[in-house]
Amino acid sequence: MFKTLLHYRYFILSSIQNELKSRFVRSKIGFLWLIIHPLAMVLVYALILSALIQIKLPETAIPNAYPIYLTAGILAWFIFSESLSRSLNLFIDNANLLKKIAFPKMVLPIIMMGNVLLNSLLLLVAILVVFAFLGHFPGWQILWLPMLFGLTLLLGTSIGIILGVLNVFIRDIGQIVPIVLNFMFWLTPIVYTITIIPEAYQKWFDLNPMTHLVAAFQDVLLYNREIQFSELFGLFLVSIGLLGLGFFLFKRANAEMLDQL
């Protein structure tokens, strides 16, 4: 696998570059839109929810803690939802490429992950600038971010590839998943804290993998705490298992997929 990726490295890099350019080919401010959209989302939530809901964050006396808490959660959600949504339509969007050009199909998820990672890094830079403006500077725990980025990207991609294969045969899946993602966003402690949920229901939130990843981003970026490594290692093993299942389904359905595309 690594030998194949190394052989096609220029194809992968040029594809990432071309996709980035094509998205903003006639835009005046180009890639800045990648940052503006999620930051606008943070601004709306921070202004409205801060005014309507008196959210008190435990274990911190940091001024402007709520916008920082919210931004850290949205960064995690952005990586997950982008990687899952793009994987969902990965094979349909690249139907012509799959039919006309002979190349290892495994490079398609790598190109997609490269684009999501690049967009996420640009967003992170913008977020750190906002944090500095608010007078907050994350501690050394920020060194955990590369691992959190990789794990969140792996989880979103592994689920997305499974759904992407199924979406080729059952196009309703492509319509259902955005609805599920909307519900999942509100069932993840991003705009609220888990402590406002009645204790009897909190255990159900633990079943949501994004609860743990969002909490890890908030620990690192707001609370300057170390991550709960044992919880995330379990999530890593699940993600690897889902990724293996996704590639297994793709390999088994490869011939039929080309007929359906």
| Residue 194 in domain | yes
Say if CB 190 and CB 77 are below 8 A apart: yes
Tokens at 131, concatenated? 């944090």
What radius of gyration, in Å, describes the C-alpha atoms of the chain? 19
147 in any annotated domain:
yes
**Which of the four pLDDT bands, split at 50, 70 and 90, describes residue 191?**
confident
What is the structure's pLDDT at 5? Answer: 67
Q: Into how many domains does the chain fold? A: 1
Task: Look up the domain containing 135 and give its range.
Answer: 34-51+62-260
Task: Out of 32-41, 54-63, 65-74, give the one with best mean pLDDT.
Answer: 65-74
Q: Please, which pLDDT band fits residue 53 given cuts at 50, 70 and 90?
A: low
User: Measuring CA to CA, which residue among 26, 50, 23 is closest to residue 37?
Assistant: 23
The reply to whether 17 falls in a domain is: no
Q: Is the pLDDT of residue 2 over 70?
A: no
In a domain, 27, yes or no: no
Question: Rounded to an integer, what distance in angstroms lies between the CA atom of residue 73 and that of residue 144?
Answer: 15
59 pLDDT tier (thresholds 50, 70, 90): low
In angstroms, what CA-CA distances link 37 with 3, 33, 119, 161?
A: 37, 6, 12, 25
The answer as to whether 190 is a domain residue is: yes
pLDDT the model gives residue 245? 93
- Stretch 44-69: mean pLDDT: 69
What mean pLDDT is predicted for residues 165-184?
A: 92
At 212 the pLDDT is 93
List C-alpha distances in Å: 132 to 113, 143, 221, 232.
28, 17, 12, 28
Task: Tell me what pLDDT residue 181 has.
Answer: 94
Average pLDDT over residues 92-104: 76
Is pLDDT at 148 greater than 60 in this prediction?
yes
What angle, rounded to 10 degrees, do the helices at 145-169 and 65-88 form? 40
Whether 16 is covered by a domain: the verdict is: no
Q: What is the mean pLDDT of the chain?
A: 83
The Cα 118–Cα 115 span in angstroms is 5
Tens of pLDDT, residues 10-46:
777 877 777 777 766 677 776 677 667 767 776 776 6
pLDDT at residue 57 above 60? Answer: yes
101 by DSSP, 3-state: which? Answer: coil
* Residue 172 covered by a domain: yes
At 100, is the pLDDT very low, low, confident or very high (cuts 50, 70, 90)?
confident
- Average pLDDT of the residues in 163-189: 92
Query: Whole-model pTM?
Result: 0.86
Task: Tell me what percent of the residues of the chain surpass a pLDDT of 70.
Answer: 85
> Cβ distance 188 to 79 under 8 Å?
no
The per-residue pLDDT for range 193-210, each reduced to its tens digit, is 888 888 888 888 888 999
DSSP secondary structure, 165-229, as one string: HHHHH-THHHHHHHHHHHHHHHTSTTSS-GGGS-HHHHHHHTTSHHHHHHHHHHIIIII-----H
pLDDT for position 254: 76
Task: Read off the tokens for 10.
Answer: 């220029």
Whether 233 is covered by a domain: the verdict is: yes
- What digits encode the pLDDT tens for the residues 205-239? 888 999 999 999 999 998 888 888 887 899 999 99
